[in-house]
Amino acid sequence: MTSIRDCFDMVVFDWAGTTVDFGSRAPVLALIEAFAALGVTVAEEEARRDMGRAKADHVRAMFEQPRIARAWRGANGAAADQAAVGRVMAELQAPMVRLAGETADLIPGAAAATARLREQGLKIASCTGYTREMMQTILPRAAEQGYAPDLVVCAHETPQGRPSPLMIYKASAELGVWPLTRVVKVDDAEVGIAEGRNAGCFTVGVAASGNMAGLTAPALADLSADERAALLDAAADRLRAAGADLVIDTVADLVPALEAEAARRGG
């Protein structure tokens, strides 16, 4: 029988919404807080629109939204420019570190899934739109809960962030993994799926725990069965449209999904 290891050598995971922070809440709340400190009210939907990008790129994309651009000009007397991005990033640092630490609980099944992949001989890497400083409270908490990737690549540690494939290239080079067709990229955001596609990886979208649904586990559970099904169907559709080869609810479903893919390839 064909195993996962027969098909793949490494899995590259995203962080918020994929392995930690069910609902990908920390970056949304931190962006809202940072903009508010500079006189601009941002809605959750607006903050989520470009989730997964390096945070400076995310802020630039938010400024491209016409309503936010108008609100910034009204509050600050000038159009948003690179200096404005720097001001938001300066305000973002403290709430991002605080909230990332507060929401660093592993998504159920993350530790078990990565342990099973390691047992089969796969390497475990991760990449994120967070800066290294923003990750400082997450990494030790994740390790305490049983999740410590072989390598972590953060935003701004490559010349370009997502949707470029450079963070995956860096992880593959440092861990000695090739070809990229033997790498799995797991992500909850469209831009993260695009990153995996651009690298030539097998891509797995996460629908329930991440940015597409955008709800904590209790909030998701509180929905009616019909509401939950509709939300997750819409999230899965967006991830497939972004190029996901497979879509799962959470990382807890990853190993069975990859086993089924290996069986399919084995004929």
Using H for helix, E for strand and C for coil, what is the string for 101-128? HHCCCECCCHHHHHHHHHHCCCEEEEEC
Options 9, 14, 187, 249, the catalytic residue: 14
Note if 14 is an active site residue: yes
Nearest to 52 by CA among 227, 225, 212: 212
Query: CA 179 from chain center: how many Å?
Result: 23
Catalytic site residue from 21, 50, 55, 249: 55
| Nearest-angstrom CA–CA distance, 137 and 101 | 5
DSSP H/E element including 247 = strand 246-248
- Let me know: does 85 contact 7? Beta carbons within 8 Å: no
What's the gap between Cα 99 and its chain centre? 16
Give the C-alpha separation, 136 to 6, whole Å: 35
Distance CA 83, CA 134 (A): 21
Q: Given strand 10-13, what is the order of strands in its sheet?
A: 151-153, 123-127, 10-13, 183-187, 202-206, 246-248
Please confirm, yes or no, whether 226 is among the known catalytic residues. no
How many degrees, rounded to 5, is the angle at CA 96 between CA 115 and CA 228?
60
Task: Find the length of the chain.
Answer: 267
Rounded CA-CA distance 89/30 in Å is 10
Which residues are part of the catalytic machinery? Answer: 14, 55
